[in-house]
Amino acid sequence: GNSVTQMEGPVTLSEEAFLTINCTYTATGYPSLFWYVQYPGEGLQLLLKATKADDKGSNKGFEATYRKETTSFHLEKGSVQVSDSAVYFCALSDYGGATNKLIFGTGTLLAVQP
């Protein structure tokens, strides 16, 4: 079945460092891919998405490119801030059945130190 694998955390960085969080997927067909972010004590919110191969999703300085050849959707940011500290989830859309569902990775905790 479809699945998502993302790098384990925690990832600890200093402010202004470069961030990469790896995400790879297994899927039949052509799913949409997502990054969600969960700030402490809150629910998940969509960070960015890509719906087809070679699409680049971007938001708040974060970027991820849908790479079909490597089945990857790595999250990157050039210069992280303390306020980026959160848990990041990679997800893909699962079209099996009558309702489109999302399959999530296990999440990666990012801690940014001043």
Phi then psi dihedrals of residue 82, to 5 deg: -55, -35
User: Who's near 60: CB < 8 A, 6+ residues apart?
Assistant: 47
**CA-to-CA separations, 73 to 7, 20, 25, 46, 87, in angstroms, rounded:** 12, 11, 8, 15, 16
Minimal distance, residue 114 CB to another protein, in Å? 26
Write each residue from 84 to 103 as x if it is in contact with another protein (CB under 8 A), else as -, in one continuous string. -----x---x---xxxxxx-
Q: Which of 46, 81, 83, 96 binds another protein (CB under 8 A)?
A: 46
**CA-to-CA separations, 34 to 63, 83, 85, in angstroms, rounded:** 11, 20, 18
Q: Say whether residue 110 binds another protein (CB under 8 A).
A: no
Q: Say whether residue 43 binds another protein (CB under 8 A).
A: yes
Q: Say whether residue 42 binds another protein (CB under 8 A).
A: yes
49 or 77: CB nearest another protein: 49
Structure tokens at 106: 């296990």
The residues binding another protein (CB under 8 A) are 32, 34, 36, 41-46, 49, 51, 89, 93, 97-102, 104-107
